[in-house]
Amino acid sequence: MTKNMTNLDRRLRAFLAAPVALAVGILIGPASGGSIVLYTIAAVMLATSTVGYCPLYSLARLGGRRRRRVAG
């Protein structure tokens, strides 16, 4: 599994997207269905930013990192 996320993308997920999703989930109400969805999204954002690999990027053939060409 190669990394397909840039460092900027990883930081935005970890320090912006996940905390915002948690805060909105708390404001909605800790036990509501919407907040559970937001908590799950926050957990996925943190997990993918930690690993540096996003499965959706692979499915959509997106990726912030360019593959290096080996001379030869």
Enumerate the domain spans of the chain: 7-59
The pLDDT value recorded for residue 34 is: 93
* pTM of the predicted structure, to 2 decimals: 0.78
Backbone dihedral angles phi then psi of residue 71, each to the nearest 5 degrees: -65, 135
Check pLDDT > 90 for residue 63.
Answer: no
Mean pLDDT, to the nearest integer, of 49-62?
86
Reading the block at residue 19, the tokens are 């905390």
Q: Which of 1-5, 17-21, 27-31, 51-55 has the lowest mean pLDDT?
A: 1-5
Under the banding of pLDDT at 50, 70 and 90, the label for residue 58 is: confident
State which amino acid sits at residue 67.
R
Helix 18-28 and helix 33-51, axial crossing angle in degrees, nearest 10: 170
What is the C-alpha separation between 70 and 46, in angstroms, rounded?
A: 32
